[in-house]
Amino acid sequence: MQRWLTAFARHSFADIAMTSLDWKQVEINYRGKSVKGRYNISDDLVTVAAWNGTKAAPLGILPAERLAKMLLRELAAESQTISDL
């Protein structure tokens, strides 16, 4: 599964089909800036798509939206510069 997650994480936001009604918006405040993305739950896996890529994690005891916000925060932190936000 780790190999699949690593390969999946290389996709860009544009590669993710946003036609599904299951995608929900998520928003966080990161370093004073609003950061938006979308998340989906499928097969107990939460996937977040944002401007700079995707991240996925298995759904555990945390609510899906909380996990999505954590993943979005990780994506924001990985951004090369804050101006990318």
pLDDT tens digits, one per residue of 16-66: 554 456 899 999 999 999 999 999 999 999 999 999 999 999 999 999 999
Cα separation, 74 vs 70, in Å, equals: 6
Cα separation, 27 vs 73, in Å, equals: 9
pTM: 0.72
CA angle, residues 47, 62, 57, in degrees to nearest 5: 30
